[in-house]
């Protein structure tokens, strides 16, 4: 479990967005990337390399015990078995959420995130309020900011991703899904459930 005290000056969401826009402008002005290229890059990670690939991995882990063991031992290698990998996915660690332990991930310094299985990070993941509060009061943050209320007996562990290691979660498999196919199971897996700020969808 990681607890990190922030020592840098906090930035607002507006300041972060302004900096991102400024970087995009510099890249396009210097001819290093076009506006269409920026849009295409974002679209690629949202629609082709995004959370649906992570959902596919989770569904495989739910139905294949041996694969789940390999995934929890070396997520990067296990994902490669399914043809999933690439930039920002070189050193991934998958953690399993259970009845007793609920894991959640944050990047306290910036927005390090496993792109190949989750796509691009949502704005709230990059925001200072999330990055600071989830480390200080994770139970309240999950309840008040995401509507996820966990029993007091469930241990919450907060993991801090960085440029070297990127964490993500294998959420608990919902009850009543024993006869569902992998494709049907994958449809129950959400991006937030793989970050740890949500649960997999109830099939009902």
Alpha helices (H) in 119-190, listed in sequence order: 123-126, 128-136, 138-146, 182-186
Of residues 25, 34, 77, 110, which has the active-site annotation?
A: 110
**β-pair partners for 158:** 104
- The verdict on whether 112 is a catalytic residue reads yes
From the candidates 79, 112, 141, 161, give the one annotated as an active-site residue.
112
User: Would residue 55 be called left, alpha or beta, if left means φ above 0 and alpha means ψ between -120 and 50 degrees?
Assistant: alpha
Q: Is 110 a catalytic residue?
A: yes
79 counts as catalytic: no
Nearest CA-CA partner of 109 in 131, 124, 90? 131
Active site residue 127: no
The pair phi, psi for residue 174, each rounded to 5°, is -65, 150
- Catalytic residue (choose from 107, 141, 161, 193): 107
Q: Element (H or E) spanning 166, and its range?
A: strand 166-170
Distance between CA atoms of residues 181 and 25, nearest Å: 45
Q: Give the catalytic positions in this structure.
A: 107, 110-112
């Amino acid at each position: 479990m990681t607890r990190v005290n922030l020592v840098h000056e906090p930035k607002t969401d507006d300041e972060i967005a302004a900096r991102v826009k400024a970087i995009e402008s510099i890249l396009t002005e210097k001819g290093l990337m076009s506006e269409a290229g920026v849009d295409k890059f974002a679209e690629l990670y949202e629609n082709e390399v995004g959370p649906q690939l992570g959902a596919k991995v989770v569904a495989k882990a739910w139905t294949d015990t041996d694969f789940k063991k390999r995934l929890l031992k070396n997520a990067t290698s296990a994902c490669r078995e399914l043809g999933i990998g690439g930039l920002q996915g070189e050193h991934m660690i998958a953690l399993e959420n259970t009845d007793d332990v609920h894991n959640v991930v944050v990047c306290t310094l910036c927005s390090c995130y496993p792109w190949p299985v989750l796509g691009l990070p949502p704005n709230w993941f990059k925001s200072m309020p999330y990055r600071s509060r989830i480390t200080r009061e994770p139970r309240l943050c999950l309840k008040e900011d995401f509507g996820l209320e966990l029993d007091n007996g469930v241990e919450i562990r907060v993991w801090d991703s960085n440029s070297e290691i990127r964490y993500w979660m294998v959420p608990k498999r919902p009850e009543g899904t024993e006869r569902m196919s992998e494709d049907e199971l994958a449809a129950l897996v959400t991006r937030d459930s793989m970050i740890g700020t949500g649960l997999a969808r109830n099939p009902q």
